[in-house]
A and B are shown apart, each in its own frame.
Chain A
């Protein structure tokens, strides 16, 4: 199962757990299943059925640009970070 890293400031929702194993073949399914385990997480990450614009998702340490439809392999790590840009 993909390993999901929970940002420290969201760990209140996961009762202090920093890493959880969640089923899912896409980022969408991972977040949906995360929400089932830890209600409230999806609202913090998604809005109008999309990743919130101020959130970046990394799959296996590459910050993705295709949103919820990104494929996730069982041995992948998924991270949620603030979105950033450069100069």
Chain B
């Protein structure tokens, strides 16, 4: 592991303490959503549509309700009535309330196989499962469309009768599956292409893939007779669950409390709600707490994957390799309801490079698949696949090193992006330079069917709202309450930022994730924001504690606060240098004589486009007989700004890389012609395991973020963007075939090699 991070001037930051929740987790004591047990609790299950597209003509629940042990059955009829045009803002933009409610329990139509239709509450899981088979749903089956390009055709089956295309707030008149169109334009692309020495254009396709978290979705609800609703769930954002559940049920938000449990992976997929309102309705009907736990098939078929995509990219460069023009058309599959990360793809396609003349047109398209959900750098991996492989093609045409062409074009401070925003200080160049100088890149790769590839990717650094409170105990330890659910060790990285201000051992800070009744509003753990924004709030809380402790010291010495300073781990009397107190000593004094010290920190940070850049180097070996691609060596390089806990940064880099490898080589939703997913188990939906991979080497780059007190940049997402492109480039280097469709599974490799042998083209191509 190459660690360029050192803690330098810091006492806590940059070290690698044991995580606060480590012991509970390795001993199996931590409480996850599925572990929730309440007195009198019922068990539930959800009936899901067997059809990809159908009109619901009737639902008869009477036989299920008569089954012994069944306590209640709910359908969309139990949800509040919704007008077609009611809109709601749930923190991620305006959405039709009908879409949100219908995705929880379908009313008039099912829009994908796996769409929830009814929920059952029973005395045990077996009874609930059996009851599902007794619910009679009469469907009028409609033609399904599961491919983005097919869905955009004029004669495509329409998923929504009233959906028209939004163009930055203006609606077109025509009903269509195209929910939104966006355009960015910079400079004069036409002129740029006319002046280019090299112009290439290709089409790319990526498959629908799932976030693949191990823990399935869950939700337990208790609806008390006084209207107080409590929900226990695994989520990336307790306050978003609170807000969405209140809206779906038309229940006062103050009457909804959400208690976040430990979370077994999310990667964006545990931002939306699915089961919580159903559990709440069942609890209201029965008067008992009700727990729902999804099956794995339910997770695959009923929860948000990341969109399949179509990208058409044209690039123009001069003889030196300098990019002079770009033109991108991209279309993302939103799933059954609008809201793919197409907007992000439009902002990311040229984000790593200075392209002075560029245009992007993006389309958000509904198809008969589950409503897409965020997945680690949403939209960035799809577009990196296109531009990073085409950049390699240009480098080859002009005989240029793969790193050199990237460094020649790399975005830097002052670069104007295609969305017209201008970068502040960023670390794009530094990640590329670190890659070029790495041991990996400078170690020759030899042998037949072996190849090396590189690629770079980008993701933003979302800020938004976070708050933290800190209570000082009499022994000088601190209880730190925060509201960001901890997916990847953020409790400790937030505690470390608090501890740094007060020079405390981080073991003396006890971080805890509060529920919505215990801590102020926090936005989701997502968008690479938690260590950045909640860490910033912890820094502010520590400054507040420091100020209060200075007041206590001043009273103790009978001085004013101006006569006390905090230096080198001590509160010092400026009037008498012989007098100083440690934090622990002062806490004890304060607990006896003063009011309790409770610090608070609260932020609402802007959305920082500087973000984080990640570069990969990968070596592969292709088996020409089986088509299997083996990853021989993989190096992930990423700008962390400042690595608070380097092990957690490395963990994010390794995790994102592994998910990117799966996306590149194996993962995809297989649909049959009726729109039925045929691989909704982890046996058939192949994610990489430890046996498939070498140790992912990491290089942390630190280009401080100027908007954070410690220079933190979020590191959770950019790392998934480059792997598919880097592997594609490596496979080309190994066998001379350029792939433009993901995944590059064995049968496609075999077919491409056979086609290459038969046609002997100058440049073999697989995909479009």
Binding site for B on A (CB under 8 A): 5, 7-10, 18, 43-45, 52-56, 58, 60-66, 77, 79-87
Contact = CB atoms under 8 A, between A and B. Distances in A.
B182 A9 contact: yes
A8 B419 CA distance: 10
Given A8-B183, A87-B527, A63 B609 contact: yes
A54 B374 contact: no
A35 to B, nearest CB: 14
Contacts of B462: 85-86
Contact of A8 (B185, B374, B464): B185
A58 B183 contact: no
Contact of B527 (A52, A53, A79, A85): A85
B422 A61 contact: yes
Contacts of A44: 168-170
A87 B268 contact: yes
Interface in B695-737: 707, 716-717
B375 interface: yes
Size bin of chain B's contact surface: 35 or more
A52 B374 CA distance: 21
B717 A87 contact: yes
Contact of B92 (A45, A79, A83): A83
A44 B169 CA distance: 5
Nearest to A18: B185
B89 A9 contact: no
Contacts of A87: 211, 267-269, 271, 373-378, 526-527, 716-717
Given A65-B607, A87-B378, A9 B168 contact: yes
Interface stretch (B12-20, B73-81, B339-347, B495-503): B339-347
B421 A61 contact: yes
Contact of B421 (A58, A82, A84): A58
B190 to A, nearest CB: 14
A7 B607 CA distance: 19
Contacts of A82: 93, 168, 180, 182, 343
A62 B606 contact: yes
Contacts of A55: 168-169
Contact of A62 (B376, B524, B609): B609
B518 interface: no
A63 B610 CA distance: 11
15 contacts: A9-B182, A10-B168, A53-B93, A58-B609, A61-B609, A62-B424, A65-B463, A65-B604, A83-B343, A85-B91, A85-B92, A85-B271, A86-B378, A87-B374, A87-B378
Contacts of A66: 604
A52 B608 CA distance: 20
A31 to B, nearest CB: 13
Contacts of B465: 65
A63 B605 CA distance: 9
A54 B211 CA distance: 25
Given A61-B609, A63-B606, A87-B271, 19 more contacts: A7-B183, A8-B184, A53-B94, A54-B94, A56-B607, A62-B609, A62-B707, A64-B607, A65-B464, A79-B420, A81-B347, A82-B343, A83-B92, A84-B460, A85-B524, A86-B344, A86-B378, A87-B267, A87-B377
Most central of A9, A10, A62, A87 by chain B CB within 10 Å:
A87
Q: Which 9 A-B residue pairings sit nearest by Cβ, starting from the closest? A: A87-B268, A86-B527, A63-B607, A87-B374, A44-B169, A54-B93, A53-B89, A9-B168, A61-B421
